[in-house]
Amino acid sequence: MDAGAARMYRTREFAELAGVTVRTLHHYDRLGLLQPRRTEAGYRLYQARDLERLEQIVALKFLALPLKRIKALLDRDALDLAGALRRQRQVLEQKRRLLNSALAAIREGESAIGAGRRPESAILRRIIEVIEMQSKPDWTAKYYTGEAGAKVEERKELWSPELQAECSRQWSELFRDIEAALDEDPAGEKAQSFLDRWQKLVEGFTGGDFAITQGLKNLYADRANWPVEAKQQMAPYSNKAVWSFIDKARAARKK
Amino acid sequence: MDAGAARMYRTREFAELAGVTVRTLHHYDRLGLLQPRRTEAGYRLYQARDLERLEQIVALKFLALPLKRIKALLDRDALDLAGALRRQRQVLEQKRRLLNSALAAIREGESAIGAGRRPESAILRRIIEVIEMQSKPDWTAKYYTGEAGAKVEERKELWSPELQAECSRQWSELFRDIEAALDEDPAGEKAQSFLDRWQKLVEGFTGGDFAITQGLKNLYADRANWPVEAKQQMAPYSNKAVWSFIDKARAARKK
DNA sequence: CTTGACTCTAACGTAACGTCACACCCGACC
DNA sequence: GGTCGGGTGTGACGTTACGTTAGAGTCAAG
């Protein structure tokens, strides 16, 4: 018979009373964290004991505890609250370490931008490099350091328009040669020399390694691994018979 | 004609090279952050310049920048990087403040649990109260302090089984009385006296306020706002004619 | 031709709600 | 009694940065 006795609050009223949003109450209701009574029409009705529970939830949320754990704590695991606090402290301390390092990096990055200094840690240098890369047009030179930088410059020079044209010419030539020899034995000497020329072109001029990488493995010079745009560029050389011939030549060599 | 020249990496290889997961690469691809070339079969093919870009991404991610902003920075907003760093620093400092207060609360909460001390801040006391509420069976007494606590205790005593029975008896009596007077005028004196008795019962014994709330407003003692369980408890009193009579009496009074 | 290793996309799950969209409910006014 | 306005309900998508299957296709090798 205590039904009508206690004061009841509808959702918005209760939300304002407790300092949370209506959506939050809906959310907690669905999660089973705080399930008020209902009117026949489905309206939520909160009462004083719901406010108690909600204040417990808010207090525990202040510790950045996830709602799941809060529910567990309030529902049954009350005795493990000390343990939960300890674990939560460790989680938060880990987060703080990450946060602090990011903050330190930002601060040093900011001041380094202003003063042109060199930061000490590797990650900071990378960040500054990124920054400078972005702000300077000739960042490629800055990106690589020492040996690697020299190599890139060298490669840059090597890959001149003239060389590109030369490369293109060599491909055309190779294609013509192969097309003219399609009836030869793919395992034969002539075919194998075509394959050599082919692989050298694939290897190309930029075959040097980038200093930024650690342990590079070579990848397929195989047609299957070519990007689609490359294939489009290769359209002038799209004679299937030539490709098939080279495939056979490669297969023959492997055996 | 540079298509086949550079070394290409498939997804897993490239991921290991860069120290990220395959899923991360897929993700960045979909976000447009790092879109490698593709083979005809749809396989991703990464090359050295993709590694450069990925390293930029990772470096900026170290600053806890969201990927969206990283994309904007790398795509076009390069010149605003200093501003982005400043804003990001503010965001992180705010986060750190929250984190530190939570950590302080946890630490003080832990030591307070151990030593039985009283923490100073209000929020900490609330947390400790939650902790104690959970670990002690008679937490209701602890929850309210001073005056409020006394009131709760009082209410607890008042709401004895005997009183519950008495309340139930009064409801039954009121229902009988109304049923016997259904043909009276709902606006008449007799009906209004029924309404008075009704509202007093609704007001109940627990009408006192809880000290935890701030500015309580009374809510509907109206049938519409009653919870469903209450209605089920009211089943013995579910004579619709009685309810309708009281509704009319209430309506009459309002006019 | 089948493995086995690798890849692809699609789609759900995560934390804690914010933000619609659409439908009811309810007291009040005409 | 119809309607208006304000409150309320339930979906359901969006957010962050991926993890984790699941189902299907690719490719080289036995």
Indicate whether A71 belongs to any domain: yes
Map residue B9 onto helix, strand or coil.
Answer: strand
Q: Are residues A161 and A240 in the same domain?
A: yes
Q: Which of A54, A75, A96 is the last residue of a domain?
A: A75
Q: Is A19 left (phi over 0), alpha (psi -120 to 50) or beta?
A: left
Rounded distance between C-alpha atoms, residue A100 and residue B64, angstroms: 11
pLDDT in the model for residue B37: 93
pLDDT in the model for residue A84: 74
pLDDT in the model for residue B89: 81
Q: Given a cut of 50, is residue B46 above it in pLDDT?
A: yes
What CATH number did the domain enclosing A28 receive? 1.10.1660.10
Q: How confident is the model at residue B248 (pLDDT cuts 50, 70, 90)?
A: low
pLDDT in the model for residue A213: 23
pLDDT in the model for residue A212: 23
CA closest to B172 among chain A residues: A1
Q: How confident is the model at residue B23 (pLDDT cuts 50, 70, 90)?
A: very high
Q: Give the 3-state DSSP-derived string for A136-183, with helices as H, strands as E and coil as C.
A: CCCHHHHHCCHHHHHHHHHHHHHCCHHHHHHHHHHHHHHHHHHHCCCC
Q: Are residues A63 and A32 in the same domain?
A: yes
Tell how strand B37-38 and strand A44-45 pair up. unpaired
Phi, psi of A45 (to 5 degrees): -130, 115
Burial (CB count <10 Å: 0-12, 13-18, 19+), residue A232: exposed
Q: Which structural domain range is residue B183 located in?
A: 154-254
Q: Are residues A245 and A195 in the same domain?
A: yes
Nearest to A217 among B13, B55, B164 (CB): B13
- Of B16 and A230, the one with more pLDDT: B16
DSSP notation for A174-243 = HHHHHHTTTTS-TTSHHHHHHHHHHHHHHH-S--SPPTT-SS------SGGG-BHHHHHHTGGG--HHHH
Q: Given a cut of 70, is residue B75 above it in pLDDT?
A: yes
Kindly give, in sequence order, each residue whose CB lies less than 8 Å from that of residue B148, ignoring residues fewer than 6 positions away.
Answer: B210, B211, B212
Q: Which of A52, A75, A98 is the last residue of a domain?
A: A75
Rounded distance between C-alpha atoms, residue B150 and residue B210, angstroms: 11
Based on the structure, what is the number of domains in chain A?
3
Decide if B47 contacts B7 (C-beta within 8 A): yes
Kindly give, in sequence order, each residue whose CB lies less than 8 Å from that of residue B234, ignoring residues fewer than 6 positions away.
Answer: A3, B226
Cα-Cα-Cα-Cα dihedral of B202, B203, B209, B213, to 10°?
Answer: 40
Indicate whether A187 belongs to any domain: yes
In the stretch 137-156 of chain B, residues with CB closer than 8 A to chain A read 143
pLDDT in the model for residue A59: 85
Contact B99 A92 (CB under 8 A): yes
pLDDT in the model for residue B25: 96
Q: Are residues A59 and A120 in the same domain?
A: no
Decide if B179 contacts B242 (C-beta within 8 A): yes
Q: Are residues B193 and B216 in the same domain?
A: yes
Q: Are residues A164 and A231 in the same domain?
A: yes
Indicate whether A227 belongs to any domain: yes
Decide if A212 contacts B14 (C-beta within 8 A): no
Number of other CB atoms surrounding residue A16 within 10 Å: 14
- Token pair for residue B163? 């009183």
Contact B1 A217 (CB under 8 A): no
- Of A10 and B142, the one with more pLDDT: A10
**Tell me: the pLDDT tens digits for B204-240?**
433 322 222 222 223 324 455 555 444 444 444 555 5
Indicate whether A1 belongs to any domain: no
Q: Given a cut of 60, is residue B175 above it in pLDDT?
A: yes
Q: Are residues A69 and A127 in the same domain?
A: no
CB A231 within 7 Å, strand D: no
Q: Are residues B31 and B118 in the same domain?
A: no
Question: Which CA distances in Å does B80 have to A112, B33, B86, B87, B243?
Answer: 15, 18, 10, 11, 70
Indicate whether B23 belongs to any domain: yes
pLDDT in the model for residue A163: 44
pLDDT in the model for residue A44: 96
pLDDT one digit per residue (tens) for chain A, 255 residues: 444 446 789 999 999 988 899 999 999 999 999 999 999 899 999 998 899 889 889 888 888 889 998 898 888 765 566 777 788 888 888 888 888 878 877 787 777 766 666 666 666 666 666 666 554 433 333 333 333 333 333 333 334 344 444 555 566 666 667 777 777 776 777 777 776 666 555 444 333 222 222 222 233 234 444 444 444 444 444 555 666 666 566 666 554
Name A residues 12-31 whose Cβ lies under 7 Å from strand D: 12-13, 22, 26, 29
Q: Which of B40, B75, B110 is the last residue of a domain?
A: B75
For testing contact with chain A, the best of B106, B138, B171 (most A CBs within 10 A) = B106
Nearest to B56 among A5, A130, A210 (CB): A130
Q: Are residues B169 and B201 in the same domain?
A: yes
- Overall average pLDDT of the B103-122 stretch: 70
- Token pair for residue A13? 């009223």
- Distance from first CA to last CA of chain A, Å, rounded? 92
- Of B154 and A112, the one with more pLDDT: A112
Indicate whether A19 belongs to any domain: yes
Indicate whether A21 belongs to any domain: yes
Name the nearest CA neighbour of B224 among B247, B203, B191, B194.
B247
pLDDT in the model for residue A225: 46
**Torsion sign (Cα): B73, B79, B83, B85:** positive
Number of other CB atoms surrounding residue B233 within 10 Å: 16
Nearest to B38 among A79, A85, A227 (CB): A227
- Overall average pLDDT of the B115-119 stretch: 63
Q: How confident is the model at residue B41 (pLDDT cuts 50, 70, 90)?
A: very high
Q: Are residues B139 and B168 in the same domain?
A: no
Indicate whether B162 belongs to any domain: yes
**Torsion sign (Cα): A240, A243, A245, A247:** negative
Q: Are residues A225 and A190 in the same domain?
A: yes
Q: Are residues B110 and B177 in the same domain?
A: no
